[in-house]
Structure 1
């Protein structure tokens, strides 16, 4: 039976793993399953977890009492590389090839690591994806370059505005306005043919695809609170994108 100090250390490791995964875009049920598997492999038999998009509650029993910890999640992003690395650490712990101290060290390294591509690469990727979406939705090749420029400008704007205004709705709304303005100007100067195709391609990098997927998967797994809250967040993002474009089109 583990003593109190050992249980605290195990709980800290499990919460660290859960915090990294939840911040980086993992599903709710995956976070709970990972923490419980890690605790069981490290010698804590009785654990309970409750995860929402903004908080993690984790408790462990030592036979005499129960200890509960709460972790607040204030910022979330998409970094599936870190999710995969945490899963790898969890599998090594479950397989008995990784101890608690080394696991904590690796998890802290994963948390502090900068694994995302540089910002300019993300902007270029968003621009390239915007051009590809134009072709996928039936647009002409002449609309590819305008969509790439508008999409790149929109993605750059949403990151910049989010740093200035830490509210996702307003940053996404303003970025959509910029996309609409760029798209309209390309049509005015006869650098593109189909306004709707340019706009659709340019806004696609802003669409919360991972959030929608996670919301559906959480609902199917029975995590109704997390599924509904993620679905509501995805709806607000879609509403912000649509509102920004609508504001521009209403003044044409």
Structure 2
């Protein structure tokens, strides 16, 4: 009888730890800030009676520990990250429901598992189409001519689609971004030489906008302002390397112009 009484709380503590880690992993993998991950995990733990939970988050890993009375420490590694703010929003909603006492730990873990297994909100073809149209809109916003609208649409769609395809074939994201920028720049040069586009610079600038790591830069600044120096600096370096790969690809294409 005594063993059963002690075993049940221990299993419950393990489930709470798994729930906290799962919520943090989903947010971190889908474009959330580091301080948001830590705050969400600690709030969920506090809602289930763990008052002294501690979490330490970097862009590549999460370390979570219960209080001294519960010797439970977990570490998970984050190997892939993308941008899916819909999942971040869903986890935030579940966290608020937990804080309001509307979900028990088993139900919360089940809902978070369902969110983690959700496919990306939009298919690849739709992402490429929207990136292409956005490139055309950026062209007009930057003062380009309507004559170059379709050139920016074609180049922007090719660049974004190339990143998606190449990243699946080659694990190195920087190589995929460099190759996509090279293809984008090459296509733009061909369009200008053939007379289908007039302003080379504006078309290239508009076409690379869907590749610019805007969210990474924003998250890096917000993490630095929140005092997460390691995460802020690492995200800033990642954004810088992405921008460097894009610029190097465009420069390589222009060197043949």
Q: Is this a same-fold pair by TM over 0.5?
A: yes
CA shift at 1:5, angstroms? 2.1
2:174 pairs with 1:174: no
Alignment partners' CA distance in 2, 1:13 and 1:44 = 13
Q: Deviations over 1:222-244 (max 9, x none)?
A: 00000000000000000000000
Alignment partners' CA distance in 2, 1:75 and 1:116 = 17
Taking the TM superposition and a 5 Å limit, the aligned residue runs for 1:38-77 are 38-63=44-69, 65-77=70-82
Taking the TM superposition and a 5 Å limit, the aligned residue runs for 1:108-123 are 108-123=113-128
2:200 to 190, 195, 202: 195
Aligned to 1:69, what secondary structure does the other structure show? strand
CA shift at 1:166, angstroms? 0.6
Query: Structure 1: where are the runs of 5+ without partners?
Result: none
Q: Deviations over 1:194-222 (max 9, x none)?
A: 00000001100000010000000000000
Query: Structure 2: where are the runs of 5+ without partners?
Result: 1-5
What TM-score, normalized to structure 1? Answer: 0.97
Alignment partners' CA distance in 2, 1:78 and 1:169 = 16
Taking the TM superposition and a 5 Å limit, the aligned residue runs for 1:1-252 are 3-63=9-69, 65-252=70-257
Aligned to 1:50, what secondary structure does the other structure show? strand
Contact 1:57 1:71 in 2 (8 A): yes
Contact 1:81 1:115 in 2 (8 A): no
Alignment partners' CA distance in 1, 2:164 and 2:182 = 14
What TM-score, normalized to structure 2? Answer: 0.96
CA shift at 1:98, angstroms? 0.8
